[in-house]
Structures are given as structure tokens and as C-alpha cells.
Amino acid sequence: IHVHKLLPFSYEIEKLKKLKETFLHNTDLAITSSYWHNLEINHRDAQKGNGLYTLAEHLNIPVENTVAIG
């Protein structure tokens, strides 16, 4: 099994904190959160900014003329 993204949800904040601590040592991962009751665990390169940069480069658009939403 190849896991591309983990998106755990819990109303037990201490469990989420513990889970986050479990993955913090792994430099291949980016750990973020979009709300207090979730974690988003992705590969460090699977970030919106990286995709936007690649697309801008492909379309010959200066990256300073781009924006990401969401």
C-alpha cells in the first residue's frame, strides 16, 4: 500500500498532538492542519506552492504574478 495523504480527525486534541509528535521526526513529511480537530500529513513536496511554482514555470508566468486559494 502506498499512502499519499493521511487526514486524521479527532475531537480529542491530546490524541492529535500525540500523533503529530509521532511524525515530526520524519523529514519527508509536511504536517499541517486546516482546523483544530484535524491533521494533514503529506509528503513534504506535495504542497500547493510547489505545484503553483511548477505550473507558472511551465506557462512562463512570473511566480510573483500568481496566487493560490484554499
Task: Put residue 60 in one of left, alpha, beta given phi > 0 → left and psi -120 to 50 → alpha.
Answer: left
- Distance, CA of 3 to CA of 55 (rounded, Å): 24
**Averaged over 22-34, what is the pLDDT?**
93
As given in the structure block, the three cell numbers for residue 32 are 499541517
**Mean pLDDT estimate for the chain:** 93
pLDDT number for residue 3: 77
Q: Is the pLDDT of residue 70 over 80?
A: no
Number of residues that this document lists for the chain: 70
pLDDT number for residue 68: 86
How many Cα atoms sit within 13 Å of 21 on the Cβ side? 6
Query: Using the 8-state DSSP alphabet, how is residue 10 labeled?
Result: -
The pTM score is 0.70
- Distance, CA of 39 to CA of 58 (rounded, Å): 31
- pLDDT tens digits for range 29-62: 999 999 999 999 999 888 888 899 999 999 999 9
